[in-house]
Structures are given as structure tokens and as C-alpha cells.
Amino acid sequence: MGTGATVVIAEDEADLRDLLTYTLESNGYTVEAYSDGTACWERLRDGEVPDLVLLDIMLPSINGLDVLRKIHAEDRLADVPVVFLSGRDREETIPDGVDVNEDDYITKPFSPTELRERIDRLA
């Protein structure tokens, strides 16, 4: 897919944020990248609705789980696909019984091809 779809990224590791941005932009996506949960949430709350959100779980200020909860609480954002990124698998990161309802979960490290394929499917 790609072609013009907007992906908002929240990733605090600068090198990884740059890699994500490069990978997606080189495949036709428009990317807006942020280094913390607060900046990402402010953009989502106040800006145009993106086609997909790519969230690191462990973010400064507001973590990815809380950003996702805020997304689901906003009617205009509730249908935006959200993909989590984490250095740990889902069972280690999201406690049992916590329903966060993300659309996909990618464990770091990941291959850029796998990332692109998963995002193409959702965006």
C-alpha cells in the first residue's frame, strides 16, 4: 500500500525512529515521528487522523499503553490501526487481564521487510 498513507510513530530510540521513518518513507508512506508519548498524543489529539499509529510501549512521559487507551477513548481516532513495538514479547509487556486491543505487535529486533508487510496490511 504506502502511497501517501500517513503513519504516526512514537519511538524514543533515535536510531530506530530514523530507521522506521526511512523504511516507511522509502515505501511511499508519509511519516510523522515523535520521541515521547506526550508529543505523539498531542499530535493525534489535535491533528488530522492518521492511517496508522506505530507505538513503542516504553516511552517517556506517557507510555504506549496509555497513548493507546487515549486513542480508543476518542471517537475520531478509535478506528485507527495501532501497532505496538517492544523489545519484549507481548506476554512480558502487557499484564494478563489488560485489554489494550492493539492491531498488531512487533518484537524488536525486526526485519524492515516484515515491518513493511504488516503495515501495508493495516494502513
Task: Assign domain 6-122 to its CATH superfamily.
Answer: Response regulator (3.40.50.2300)
The pLDDT tens digits of the residues spanning 90-100 come to 556 654 444 55
The pLDDT tens digits of the residues spanning 8-26 come to 999 999 999 999 999 999 9
**Which residues, 6 or more positions from 78, have their beta carbon under 8 angstroms from its beta carbon?**
71, 72
Q: Which three cell numbers stand for residue 14?
A: 533515535
